[in-house]
Amino acid sequence: MKAKGAEETVCQDAADLKAKGNNLFASGDYAKALEVYDEGLKKLKDNGAEAAILHSNKAACYIQMKRFKDADRSCSAALAASPGNAKALVRRSRAYEQQGLYKQALADIQQVNRGESASAETKEAEKRLKDVLAGRRKGVADIGPRGMGKAGGRWPRMAYFAAKCVLDDEARMIHLAHGTSYAELLAMVKAKFPSSGPVALKYVDKEGDLVTIGERADVSAAIAESVAAYEKHLGGGHGPRLPPQIPPIKIHLFRVASEDEVPKPPEVEVAERAQALAVQKSLAARAAGRAGEEDGVGEIDDWLLDFANLFRESLGIDPDRHVEMHNVGVEKCQRALEASVQSKDALPIFDEAAEKFKEVTCVGLLNWGNVHLCVGHKLAGEAAMAGTPASSVEAEVLGFFDKAQGRYDEAMALKDDFYDGILALAQLEFERAKVKVGLIIEPPVASASGEGAEEADLNSAAALNEAMKKALGRVDTAKVAEVQPLVDKCWELYKKGVKLGEDLDAQSEKEKEKKAEAGSKPADTRVDRTAEGVDEPGLQTHALVMWANVQFEYSQILAVSGGEWRPMLDDAVVKFRKAGCNERDVIQALKSHIRSEELDIPEPPEEAAEAKASAATADGSPPVKGLPSLGSKPTKKAQN
């Protein structure tokens, strides 16, 4: 009896801890809930049903924290303690799906559907996973462009996607994230169109058909369609300037007679949203010191997301890059810890992990410096718009540039071969030179008209060219010679960046060859465009394009100050072509040059080909291959 009483006490303690953990989970404190569940597991000595529940509850916490590997491990522990536990199977299926392990996810959900715990949601999940495996739809883990852009820039894995919701002739913007549910999307649409009445949501797929959105997977598919269409659009060549972010996803709203005709969100999505709202309300109440009194729920304002996207686009910041490196570092640390403590094989893994964390720090310092650089540009742009001389803001702007260099130098001190840091320092030297000679450009005002994307791009380019010519007219030509040391330092750094990019590209190729020889597929997350006949650019290409853009701009400064501008322009063109830039874009850039009337600019390739074909038809001789020369060749000195 005494032993039995002690056992009952242990079970009661575990039950109390489970209840406490559940309350913490409901309030959104998942980390603390995990600690309490672990404490409950320590109380239980056996691996029975109670232990299975605690393991399954831990998995629920991990899922909310996006720690899907930990979630599937906890579910596996729950199933070891209680085979066939339905909740553990459903949660492990979800964790597998988020990791892209669709076969494992399907196996778990099918096991649930063969038992008494089957529901409409689990059956729908089975159908969705079968469609993913059959290639009829994209999975939630397969969305988002990864890898290199057309001219060497990295595509970020975007945290949010802008979406344009269109009802009749009215359009309003919302923001979607990876994993946004249909229940969340429907709530956002109703908030944006409060007087619209019942509406059904649809998107256009790659076949041009309108597809009704009725669950989370449909939202993910709409994002995937938009990403795929944009990547296809970018597959036709690249130029001196990099394209901006992915355009908004278009969601069509159709009025229906009643709410019964609007697809109902799955129960699991409704429950998730209710729980998320409860957590937000609880946190808002705590912050205000009035727990449980508010009826409103705090949400992220759209303007914050708009500003975040603008900020990222302006600075070229990849918001998830440091997270990816951090995860790699953590993974390598875990691998080392899992190895035998006595094993010498663990030491190189620790070294690799340390190197990744060092790079995380460098990227953080780089982005910190970019913030200071952005502030300096903002001050200069405001002065240009107000017609204020550059000299009036020069000291303040250069002060922010100095702060940026301080952060860049800290990064370089940690990693002297930090590629992005070298290019940032090179660009910074040229930005200093521009401010000192008074070249501050008035930011062009975005067009509010409804023209198409191509026409909008042309209008934007024309406005930028006009702003550049206006700024060049304000250059203090007497100071151009004074900034030559800054320009020389800029060239020196870009030369170093090009060489480092070449070395890193070669190193990457060797690593791929080694993995190929070992019979393993290279762990390359970049988009494979070889099927489209597009060469994947490397880091050297990226550095060449950046250097050429700076040389092109400097040639215009020399042109207005009476300097030798032509060799500088010729060398920029050589770099553009060496980087593989589209010939039409190079020609368009030459036409925008302030001394374009003095250049022998060739016709675009298509027009030149037509002219040659006409000439061949006229005299019967074959057309001559090749493009007209762009003037004298760059000198060896200029190339080096």
- What are the CA-CA distances from residue 166 to residues 171, 193, 196, 305, 639 (Å)? 4, 10, 11, 20, 52
Mean pLDDT value across residues 234-257: 66
Q: Exposed, middle or buried: residue 207 (CB in 10 Å: 0-12, 13-18, 19+)? A: exposed
Does an H or E element contain 433, and which?
Answer: helix 419-437
Residues 6+ apart with CB under 8 A from 611: 603
C-alpha 59/C-alpha 61 separation (Å) is 5
Q: Report phi then psi at 281, rounded to 5.
A: -65, -40
- 199-204: strand order across its sheet: 170-177, 160-167, 249-255, 199-204, 210-212
Q: Which of 437, 442, 443 is nearest to 398 (CA)?
A: 437
Asked which of 292-296, 324-328, 477-481 is least confident by mean pLDDT, the reply is 292-296
User: What is the CATH number assigned to the segment(s) 160-282?
Assistant: 3.10.20.90
C-alpha 328/C-alpha 347 separation (Å) is 16
Q: How confident is the model at residue 333 (pLDDT cuts 50, 70, 90)?
A: low
Reported as a single tens digit per residue, the pLDDT across 106-131 is: 999 999 999 888 888 899 889 888 88
Residue 320 in tokens: 């998830």
Residues 6+ apart with CB under 8 A from 471: 384, 439, 440, 441, 442
Residue 279 in tokens: 């957590």
Cα dihedral 123, 124, 127, 129 sign? negative
pLDDT above 60: residue 90: yes
Task: Give me the pLDDT at residue 628, please.
Answer: 33
Reported as a single tens digit per residue, the pLDDT across 410-458 is: 988 988 888 888 999 999 888 888 888 888 777 655 444 444 444 444 4
pLDDT above 60: residue 40: yes
CA torsion, points 565, 569, 572, 574, in degrees to nearest 10?
A: -130
Q: How confident is the model at residue 478 (pLDDT cuts 50, 70, 90)?
A: confident
Q: Which of 217, 162, 225 is nearest to 188 (CA)?
A: 162
Reported as a single tens digit per residue, the pLDDT across 524-552 is: 444 343 333 334 568 888 888 888 888 88
Q: Report phi then psi at 338, rounded to 5.
A: -70, -25
DSSP 261: G
Pick 628 or 80 by higher pLDDT: 80
DSSP 154: B
Task: Give me the pLDDT at residue 461, please.
Answer: 61
State the pairing for strand pair 249-255/160-167: parallel
Task: Give me the pLDDT at residue 189, please.
Answer: 92
Considering the four listed CATH numbers 1.10.4010.10, 1.20.1730.10, 1.20.1370.20, 1.25.40.10, the one that applies to the domain covering 2-136 is 1.25.40.10
C-alpha 559/C-alpha 566 separation (Å) is 8
Reported as a single tens digit per residue, the pLDDT across 338-375 is: 555 456 666 676 777 777 888 888 888 889 988 888 88
Instruction: Compute the C-alpha angle 390/393/394, nearest 5°.
Output: 75
pLDDT above 80: residue 151: no
Mean pLDDT value across residues 386-396: 81
Task: Give me the pLDDT at residue 425, please.
Answer: 92
Task: Give me the pLDDT at residue 233, please.
Answer: 58
Mean pLDDT value across residues 186-191: 91
